[in-house]
Amino acid sequence: MSDASPQPEPFTPSTEPAALEDLRTRLRATRWPDAPEDAGWSLGTDVDYLRELVAYWADTFDWPAQEAALARLPRFRVRLGGLGIHFVHARAVAPTGPVLPLMLSHGWPDSFWRYSKVVPLLTDPGAHGADPADAFDVIVPDMPGYGYSDRPTGPPLDSIGVAGLWAELMDVLGHARFGAAGGDIGSHVSRYLALDHPDRVVAVHRMDGGLPVFTGDPAELTPEERAWFADAAAWGASEGAYGAMHRTRPQTAAAGLNDSPAGLAAWIVEKLRAWSDCDGDLERSFTKDEILTNVTLYWLTGTIGSSMRMYNANGALPPEQLTRRVEVPSGFSLFQGDIVRPPRAWLERTTNAVYVNEPARGGHFAPFEEPELYAEELRTFFRPYRAAAASRTVN
């Protein structure tokens, strides 16, 4: 690496007390909407639950303690593509075999928070009842416009652009070859890492197949694929309004969500409940502290608008990009509680699918909901590809 290469710097944020006092003041001054009697979650976020959560946020939630807990992860910032990028870079602990660098890409509505529970399980499997030979070097960046990474001031980056930045980040960290994994938008980014950098990505693991895009003859699709297309369309009609807003008018929503912490919580919490494997009981998957850590990250960094704008950028990707076939060995863990789960026939049509499993528990946020299950899925899938990455390069 040349002297002119970007140099990562350790990063430990510390929130000013005035910012937390402003947050509490806003929470206590929330102007609450009315709701039909017994509406519950049927029309969106349950106002009664939101009142309870906001009261806890204002009076009980301990952000400095959560900030300190996140600071136990080794975190850095580096300048790439004109943007400051925040990332976790956790080295394997006492490995007994080849170490595979692993790039984990998050989605919306989250950040590096999605993987905060699973990092220790992947870097130090021996300490968690697994084989030390399965240790990873783990890299978890915040996408531009999310978390502690800079917000693009010009056009938002799409998944192709972010994948290019992640390849550059792995250069900076000295990882010539690596594995890639992700879910939600992170699945999209991981896919483009495999498509555009196949000489570097030894294998790619995803939690979904994306929303279906097919430009061929529908008669070529299997009955299972056609049923999945119909299910995806039905899901879009009943659940996809948030995505349409993000793609078309993100700044309209951002004006309210960036000003009202209760509104921000409503926008995010409804998705945590709808997309997790909680059977309608949100706190079966997340504690209040966990929910509010995620939401507070959005509030303090002011990134709800910039995170939504990535949908607008991805919505402009041409069909020929969306229909490219991934030839890098691909694995899929389709958690039972996730949304829009594709059939194997679609995965084999669109990728070199060598591994497809359906864990019995977990949903869209499985790395956080079921970190042990998710870690075991990654260990199992990537095990045959460790030697391909050879030994790690230390800067």
User: Sorting pLDDT into bands at 50, 70 and 90, what band is 145?
Assistant: very high
Is the C-alpha dihedral spanning 212, 217, 219, 222 positive or negative? negative
pLDDT of residue 39: 95
20-69: pLDDT as tens digits: 999 999 999 999 999 999 999 999 999 999 999 999 999 999 999 999 99
Q: Are strands 326-333 and 201-206 parallel, antiparallel or unpaired?
A: parallel
Q: If residue 138 lies in a helix (H) or strand (E), which one and from where to where?
A: strand 136-141
Q: In whole angstroms, give the CA distance from residue 33 to residue 14.
A: 33
pLDDT of residue 2: 45
Please, are residues 155 and 161 in contact by the beta-carbon 8 Å criterion?
A: no
Topology of domain 42-389 in CATH is Rossmann fold (3.40.50)
Q: In whole angstroms, give the CA distance from residue 310 to residue 307.
A: 6
For the chain, give the percent of residues with pLDDT over 70.
98
Please, are residues 50 and 66 in contact by the beta-carbon 8 Å criterion?
A: no
Q: Is 1 helix (H, G, I), strand (E, B) or coil?
A: coil
Is a pLDDT exceeding 70 seen at residue 97? Answer: yes
Phi-psi map region of 172: left, alpha, beta (phi>0 left; psi -120 to 50 alpha): alpha
Q: In whole angstroms, give the CA distance from residue 296 to residue 220.
A: 47
Query: Residue 164 corresponds to which tokens in the numbers above?
Result: 């290019």
Q: Is 181 helix (H, G, I), strand (E, B) or coil?
A: strand
**Amino acid of residue 88:** V
Secondary structure, 3-state, 32-44? CCCCCCCCCCCCC
Hey, what's the torsion of the CAs at 165, 167, 168, 172, to 10 degrees? 130
Opening angle at CA 387, ends 386 and 393, nearest 5: 85
User: Sorting pLDDT into bands at 50, 70 and 90, what band is 390?
Assistant: low
Instruction: Give 154's contacts (C-beta < 8 A, 6+ positions apart).
Output: none
User: Sorting pLDDT into bands at 50, 70 and 90, what band is 391?
Assistant: very low
User: Sorting pLDDT into bands at 50, 70 and 90, what band is 269?
Assistant: very high
pTM here is 0.96
pLDDT of residue 387: 85
Secondary structure, 3-state, 270-323? HHHHHHCCCCCCHHHCCCHHHHHHHHHHHHHHCCHHHHHHHHHHHHCCCHHHHC
pLDDT of residue 4: 72
Across the chain, mean pLDDT equals: 95
Is a pLDDT exceeding 70 seen at residue 238? Answer: yes
Q: In whole angstroms, give the CA distance from residue 303 to residue 100.
A: 31
Is a pLDDT exceeding 70 seen at residue 1? Answer: no
Is a pLDDT exceeding 50 seen at residue 394? Answer: no
Query: Tokens 């300190």 label which residue?
Result: 68
* Range 199-220 average pLDDT: 94
Secondary structure, 3-state, 228-243? HHHHHHHHHHHHCHHH
Opening angle at CA 385, ends 90 and 175, nearest 5: 40
Q: If residue 169 lies in a helix (H) or strand (E), which one and from where to where?
A: helix 159-172
* Range 67-95 average pLDDT: 97
55-68: pLDDT as tens digits: 999 999 999 999 99
Task: Supply the residues annotated as catalytic.
Answer: 184, 311, 364
Q: How many CB atoms lie within 10 A of CB 247?
A: 18
Q: Are strands 83-90 and 100-105 parallel, antiparallel or unpaired?
A: unpaired
Is a pLDDT exceeding 70 seen at residue 129? Answer: yes
Is a pLDDT exceeding 70 seen at residue 393? Answer: no
Q: If residue 327 lies in a helix (H) or strand (E), which one and from where to where?
A: strand 326-333
Q: If residue 102 lies in a helix (H) or strand (E), which one and from where to where?
A: strand 100-105
How many residues in the chain? 395
DSSP states of 30-89 as a string?
Answer: --PPP--TT-TTTTSS-HHHHHHHHHHHHHT--HHHHHHHHTTS-EEEEEETTEEEEEEE
355-385: pLDDT as tens digits: 999 999 999 999 999 999 999 999 999 999 9
Q: How many CB atoms lie within 10 A of CB 146?
A: 28
Is a pLDDT exceeding 90 seen at residue 395? Answer: no
300-344: pLDDT as tens digits: 999 999 999 999 999 999 999 999 999 999 999 999 999 999 999
Query: Residue 96 corresponds to which tokens in the numbers above?
Result: 């007994």
